[in-house]
Structure 1
Amino acid sequence: MSRYKHREKRAMRTLRKTIVRLLLLVIAAAVMAGCVLIGRGYQMYQAALTQQSLESKVEEIQSDPGYTELSGLPEMYLNAVVAVEDHRFEQHFGIDLIAIGRAAWNNLTTWSLREGGSTITQQLAKNMYFTQEKSFIRKVAEMFMAFRLERAYTKEEILELYVNSIYFGDGYYGIGDACEGYLSESPIEMTDYECTLMAGIPNAPSVYSLTENPALAEQRQKYVVKQMVKYDYITEDQAKTITK
């Protein structure tokens, strides 16, 4: 072997070792950052429970005059909410790993925090205890709270609390108040069209407000219907009768 080839081979070995070391350093840094993030998120979660217990917070929501039990809500509305917000709601344990992975990839490729991959349980946790500010620490705290909710309450109870705590715009919190304010009727009186319309508003209340942007709200309603077809809650023929 020539002296030149020997030097080239040795340089390649050195390069490979350097790359491996750099990768190990990056992995170690990522693990350390993850541990810090999880620790701070857990502290935020614990601090929230210290200020007000979960049981007390639930009782506060349930004591609202507009609180509506699941028995007072049309099945079409409940199915619409699950289809558009969290179609794996019945299968996950508080967080949806598939949705989180998809959101993480999209956020990394766009260098943003636009997509959260939050489940209904996570959204309930956020509405109950945390601000709408987008941060990784709050996201971790929200996950811990979601786990706590899933341990303490059934899926039916979580869904009921969720639809009674979400914001619909124009100062309306919960489906009872929103139906009274927007539709001048009780939730159980909603038509299939109204069910799918109301299910779409909480995604962006200021955008889909029925008083400010009825046209956008109707576009969102059509999306809700498509999601219901996609996840087999309704048929294509049923969808045609629901969409205006």
Structure 2
Amino acid sequence: MKRIRKFLIRSFALAMLTMLVVGGVLGGFGYKMYRGALAEQPLEEKVAEIQADPDYTTLAEIPEIYLDAVVAVEDHRFEQHFGIDLIAIGRAAWNNLTSWSLREGGSTITQQLAKNLYFTQEKSFIRKIAEMFMAFRLENTYTKDEILELYVNSIYFGDGYYCIYDASQGYFGKAPIDMTDYECTLLAGIPNAPSVYSLTANPELAEQRQEYVVQRMVQYGYISEDEAQSILQDQS
């Protein structure tokens, strides 16, 4: 019995040591990727490029329900975290380990912005770590409102629309501020998988995703169940 206990303790210690070593190596490569990205173009310069776009849309020019929908479905702890969501990362890590894949990332809005600004969509641990370092940098440099504003001005909505203004004009023929609650919640669900939820390619799937968005808004207290049903029924 003692031998079995010693064996288990040693195995656990070896596993922990291996994880620390591997984590340290990956962390080093990730930090190097992060520093290399900043060396190629400083963060402030990259942000200024986005803000200089003629179609750049401020939060004041976007319906509040759209912003609530984005936070509810993408990162409901956005206001509380410091760039990464440890709870979401833990859940994603467990799901990835049990499925032997990298299918779930647990990315916050800040991490998604970091990826959109500097990194590719390639799924790798090193890129993920670099993204985290960049998320910390973003959170230390900009306010939550500034980060959310940059995010909606740099995400892909499918059909060649790379910001909320283009998507609103392209899909609905109107400025973002003029979108209805139905259109806002529909649009908020697309960036999760633009090729899947594009309104021109798969309108039915886009509506299914919209229902999920609205459910999350109810779950996190942004709207009531009655308001949710009213939104989904009003397609005018």
Q: TM class, shorter-chain normalised? A: over 0.9
Q: 5+ residue gaps in structure 2?
A: none
Asked if 1:59 is matched to 2:48, the reply is yes
Partner of 1:193: 182
**Which one-letter code corresponds to 2:37 in the other structure?**
A
Partner of 2:156: 167
User: Within 2, Cα distance between the matches of 1:165 and 1:102?
Assistant: 27
**Pairwise CA distance, 1:14:** 3.5
Asked if 1:234 is matched to 2:196, the reply is no
What CA deviation, in whole Å up to 9, does each residue of 1:76-114 have, x standing for no partner?
A: 100000000000000000000010011111111111111
Q: 5+ residue gaps in structure 1?
A: 1-11
- Return the match for 1:217 from 203, 206, 215: 206
Q: Secondary structure at the match of 2:162?
A: coil
What CA deviation, in whole Å up to 9, does each residue of 1:153-197 have, x standing for no partner?
A: 000000000000000011100100111111110000000000000
Asked if 1:150 is matched to 2:139, the reply is yes
Higher alpha-carbon Rg: 1
Asked if 1:50 is matched to 2:50, the reply is no
Asked if 1:133 is matched to 2:122, the reply is yes
**Which one-letter code corresponds to 1:65 in the other structure?**
P
Q: Which runs of 4+ in 1 moved over 6 A?
A: none
**Pairwise CA distance, 1:17:** 2.8
**Which one-letter code corresponds to 2:208 in the other structure?**
Q
**Pairwise CA distance, 1:16:** 3.1
Q: How many residues align?
A: 233
Asked if 1:37 is matched to 2:26, the reply is yes
User: Within 1, Cα distance between the matches of 2:20 and 2:126?
Assistant: 15
User: Within 1, Cα distance between the matches of 2:72 and 2:8?
Assistant: 46
Give the structure-1-normalised TM-score: 0.93
Partner of 1:112: 101
Give the structure-2-normalised TM-score: 0.97
**Pairwise CA distance, 1:226:** 0.5
Partner of 1:6: none
Q: Secondary structure at the match of 2:226?
A: helix
**Pairwise CA distance, 1:21:** 2.3
**Which one-letter code corresponds to 1:178 in the other structure?**
A
Asked if 1:75 is matched to 2:77, the reply is no
User: Within 2, Cα distance between the matches of 1:91 and 1:29?
Assistant: 32
**Which one-letter code corresponds to 1:141 in the other structure?**
A
Partner of 1:3: none
Q: Secondary structure at the match of 2:83?
A: coil
Aligned residues with identical type, % of pairs: 72
**Pairwise CA distance, 1:64:** 1.4
**Pairwise CA distance, 1:24:** 1.8
